[in-house]
A and B are shown apart, each in its own frame.
Chain A
């Protein structure tokens, strides 16, 4: 039987953006902008901010700090 990796890619990502109980929503911080959930978990919080971007300085550093700040106000608990 032929298994298509590209078919797997398309079924892997869902288009339903509504958070609801019973399903764990996963995504990047950029994806989650504007969304809310009761419980919010951060994967590898040590990567916030990304050291490589902070080292670049300037707008990259500022943006990285914004991303770090952005992940904090999400929970509505």
Chain B
């Protein structure tokens, strides 16, 4: 339908832009004949505007400070997926000697709560402040984030460390830890804003990434910041005659703020949504925010199905009937109105002449079958969300500690996962289990690698830790 609308808009001479959720969706539209300047994903669209504003304002800052300004040292924000963790580390570094312990305990909690606070547009115009503790507490309760603190408390800290921290929290109760974590998150949120928009914060021009052992120059942003900072700084976007949004049921508050800023008196907005496909509530998507955006708009329900055959629709209808969505879907019809023949529910071997996709509910489930297919010699490609490998590497670094064998890390992962289970709603839990599966695959592919031998290094980080141990303790095996 979008392609047809584009055809109409082009013929009418209307300037327009299509905003989609991710790069894959953008690529699909480009493959259908749309032009690169017509399709953007939210992040790249906002990032472009944000970088030009940051470069301009921070260069002016340099000029005021009498620093040299040339085209060779243009200021550009560094994109870092673990930015919030690094900011939390910076914040807790002000509280020696317990800073590293507090970072270890709270970094996952703070990361998740900061992500939710930003997707809810806290700190933006008309929204609660980042320092509004009751709002942050409400998010922590709604998304059951207290278990992130308790998981780290029970699985990462030693008893003496817990006693030390209890003195800071003013008690041993879980509520005291949660309250402390929420207050720290509020400060980290404000600090994160400064880190994303300044050249220097608290006397630091760099943040240190312990995983890669690299200094990252300020300003630093992550993928949420690309849209969040654009919304918080109230950036202006070039006016368009029409704005089209696909998968609009997945819009979060900051994306909606960005859309509002693009609305002009004589412009049009068209959104395509299906409330039965909302799968990002865990990331902070609020259906009410989208309803508010579309209040007063004309709503057209399209029941024609151009994709699925009768047998698939029948199964989907059973699921829809269980949901509070009043929807009756019909099978695909051809131009004469004839219902498409039934699809096959496959039970026979994979046909490599077709495009094939194998999907699972969790990362762990998919990896288990991956091993089986690889064992049969089939050509398989594994795909992840965004920077999955980077996230896994960071997770791995957390578990390497002072040891450097796969067996040690595997044991720690199993312990941590058992403490956090059952919480399969947690993405992080799934990543832990996925990492365990990847360890199995790694060992299966490298049969000569003995997981008990020190030469099987886990990561660059593990190797460095191991080298430091050698230097400090000459009797250490490495």
**Interface, chain A (partner B; CB < 8 A):** 1-6, 8-10, 12-14, 16-44, 47-48, 50, 52-53, 56, 59-60, 62-63, 65-77
Contact = CB atoms under 8 A, between A and B. Distances in A.
Contacts of B449: 3
6 A-B pairs with the lowest CB-CB distances in the bound complex, closest first: A43-B360, A6-B459, A37-B357, A38-B354, A27-B383, A34-B25
Contact of A65 (B25, B323, B423, B424): B323
Contacts of B350: 24, 39, 41
Given A26-B380, A32-B357, A36-B355, 12 more contacts: A2-B455, A6-B396, A10-B389, A25-B381, A25-B383, A28-B362, A43-B361, A44-B360, A63-B280, A69-B320, A72-B316, A74-B359
B277 interface: yes
Interface residues of B, number: 85
B312 interface: yes
B343 interface: yes
A24 B438 CA distance: 18
A26 B279 contact: no
A29 B361 contact: yes
Given A5-B406, A28-B385, A43-B358, A59 B457 contact: no
Contacts of B22: 33-34
Contact of A42 (B31, B279, B360, B368): B360
Interface of B: prevailing SS: mixed
A17 B383 contact: yes
Interface of B: 20-25, 27-28, 31, 247, 276-282, 307-309, 312, 315-316, 319-320, 322-324, 343-344, 346, 350-363, 365-366, 368-370, 373, 378-385, 388-390, 392-393, 396, 406, 422-425, 438-439, 441-442, 445-446, 449, 455-461, 463
A23 B307 CA distance: 23
A25 B21 contact: no
A67 B279 contact: yes
28 contacts: A3-B455, A5-B396, A5-B458, A6-B461, A8-B438, A9-B389, A12-B382, A21-B354, A22-B379, A24-B378, A27-B384, A28-B359, A28-B361, A28-B363, A28-B385, A34-B24, A37-B354, A37-B356, A39-B357, A40-B359, A41-B358, A43-B368, A44-B361, A47-B361, A59-B281, A63-B279, A70-B279, A72-B315
Contact of A5 (B31, B278, B361, B442): B442
Given A3-B456, A26-B370, A56-B425, A37 B355 contact: yes
A28 B456 CA distance: 29
Contacts of A73: 307-308, 312, 316
A13 B463 CA distance: 23
A52 B343 CA distance: 31
Contacts of B381: 14, 16, 23-26
A52 B425 contact: yes
A76 B307 contact: yes
A5 B383 contact: no
Nearest to B23: A17
A8 B384 CA distance: 14
Nearest to B361: A47
A23 B360 contact: no
Contacts of B385: 28, 30-31
A49 to B, nearest CB: 8
A22 B232 CA distance: 46
Contacts of A39: 346, 350-351, 354-357
B393 A10 contact: yes
A24 B358 contact: yes
Contacts of B406: 5
Contact of B343 (A3, A17, A70, A77): A77
A5 B457 CA distance: 6
Contacts of B393: 6, 9-10
Contacts of A2: 455-457, 463
Contacts of A21: 352-355
